[in-house]
Amino acid sequence: MSTENEGGLPASGQDGTSRPAEGEPGVSEQPRETAQMPTVPAGQPAPPAAGTPEGGPYAGAPQDPAGAPTAQTPPVRPSAFSAPPAPGVAPAGPYDGGPQGPQAPYGAYALSPSPEPKPRRGAAGLVAAVIVAALVAGGVGGGIGYWAANRSGDTTVSASANPKDLNRAPTSVAGIANRALPSVVTINASGSQESGTGTGFVYDTQGHILTNNHVVAPAADGGKLTVTFSDGKTYNAEVVGRAQGYDVAVIKLKNAAGAKLTPLPLGDSNKVAVGDATIAIGAPFGLSGTVTTGIVSAKNRPVASSDGQGSPSSYMSALQTDASINPGNSGGPLLDASGDVIGINSAIQSTNSGGGDPFGGGTTAQSGSIGLGFAIPIDEARYVADTLIKTGTPVYAIMGMSVNMNYDGQGAQISTSGANGGSAVTAGGPADKAGLKPGDVITKFGDTLIDSGPTLIGAIWQHRPGDQVQVTYERGGKTSTTTVTLGERKGDSD
């Protein structure tokens, strides 16, 4: 068992001392009482007319069973997924139209140190919000798809409609969708106790499919994975590698010799600008091949996520989009106006009006999009995917310190104590070598303004082991800067 979480930071225990965090991205939290949490939808199949009941918000920052810290979450409502007491982005739920096995409810939440969002320090007073979003794979059931299919025959096409009068140029949405749909797949994952439906896309001609970890998690331990293309062809698949902290996974088609595979072109998420057009493709609520459009509504949005079943949290510095994304879209591509992939759709935030057990024991229902979707930037996902294909094991950049996730000031505070009463800064680690000490408050990491622990984790994970990053911090009322050379940790903690 590793003594560092995904970001290289040990987690704090409830007794005031720190203990190792497993699966967290290099940050840990100080002891704190868990706040009462509203309920969240469970992801049970709903009747066609009902659609998707909504989920509820979380308050508080409990720890998962592994001891990994969870981000502090002011009350803001979840969506398709409910996370553990910590900031949670829950994974995808199943779709088969019938009774499901035990499932985690899904919910999306917004995190910030106080009910009123705090302005970032620096340029134009940007408002920072750490989102605990709901993972969006899985959903209501076959009933909706059946109803939609029956209704599709009732439409009348005008005889005057001339294709030449329609905008179906290669650069139009129709043109981009026509090229991309054959490379987008619907993934069904089933295990001994749960199943789920999500999306993925062709990564290379060797049969590798890129998707979210939470989409394939149900089949990770001896379960079954199937991949269905837009032409109806279905293949069995196997997991090549999973990175729980990044929420990225790579699977590979079996017995697909001779299959014509066209990888989707990958863009540059660093060059994306707010306002750029976006196209999302996936299988919301089991409706494969669904295309929706929108814009990039924000960049570098801190998002914390969990599967709602006590697993370590995932963190990302996400692309935010208002393209409609719902349960089942998880793992699908977010495309730009050129048809290049700029992100992997992973989570949503939405309101909630349902009831039930936020930890998966009650009867709840998944809610849908309110125009706040979050995608893992493709630059980060590409690095993770290439590492998984090469070694099967994820690699995380770390600072070698513990972070107080209960700190409500402006910045990310290094914990005052670490695991078993030891130091919160690992001796000889990257933070120690850079002169950082317990209690220091980090306010800037590279070009990123830091307003919380989750923001720092997301920023760390955008870098690679060995990167040198300038860090601004406060100690005793004085602001200083130092340079940190990031270390590495291989593999997800159990």
pLDDT in tens, 269-314: 999 999 999 999 999 998 999 999 999 999 999 988 765 555 677 8
The answer to whether 1-146+168-389 and 395-490 have equal CATH topology is no
Residues 6+ apart with CB under 8 A from 124: none
Highest mean pLDDT: which range of 250-259, 354-363, 437-446:
437-446
Highest mean pLDDT: which range of 136-140, 146-150, 220-224, 336-340:
336-340
Averaged pLDDT score across all residues of the chain? 73
Residues with a known catalytic role: 214, 247, 330
Relative to beta strand 130-132, strand 290-305 is parallel
Confidence check: pLDDT of 73 > 50 = no
List, as one string, the DSSP characters of 316-372.
EEEEEE-S---TT-TT-EEE-TTS-EEEEEEEE-------S-TTTTS-------SS-
CA-CA-CA-CA dihedral for 238, 242, 246, 247, to nearest 10:
40
Q: Per-residue confidence at 167, pLDDT binned at 50, 70, 90?
A: confident
pTM of the model as a whole: 0.69
Q: Which pLDDT score, from 0 to 100, does residue 69 have? A: 42
Task: Considering the domain delimited by 395-490, tell me its CATH architecture.
Answer: Roll (2.30)
Q: Per-residue confidence at 160, pLDDT binned at 50, 70, 90?
A: low
Please state the rounded mean pLDDT for residues 157-180.
78
Q: Which pLDDT score, from 0 to 100, does residue 72 have? A: 40
Rounded-to-integer distance, Cα 461 and Cα 265, Å: 23
Residues 6+ apart with CB under 8 A from 408: 72, 113, 114
State percent of the chain over pLDDT 90: 49
CATH 2.40.10.120 fits 1-146+168-389, yes or no: yes
| All structural domains of the chain with their residue ranges | 1-146+168-389, 395-490
Confidence check: pLDDT of 441 > 90 = yes
118 in Cβ contact with 74 (< 8 Å): no
Q: Which pLDDT score, from 0 to 100, does residue 362 have? A: 28
Question: Mind listing the pLDDT tens digit for each residue in 309-346?
Answer: 556 778 889 999 999 999 999 999 999 999 999 999 99
367 in Cβ contact with 115 (< 8 Å): no
Residues 6+ apart with CB under 8 A from 293: 173, 277, 278, 279, 280, 323
106 in Cβ contact with 91 (< 8 Å): yes
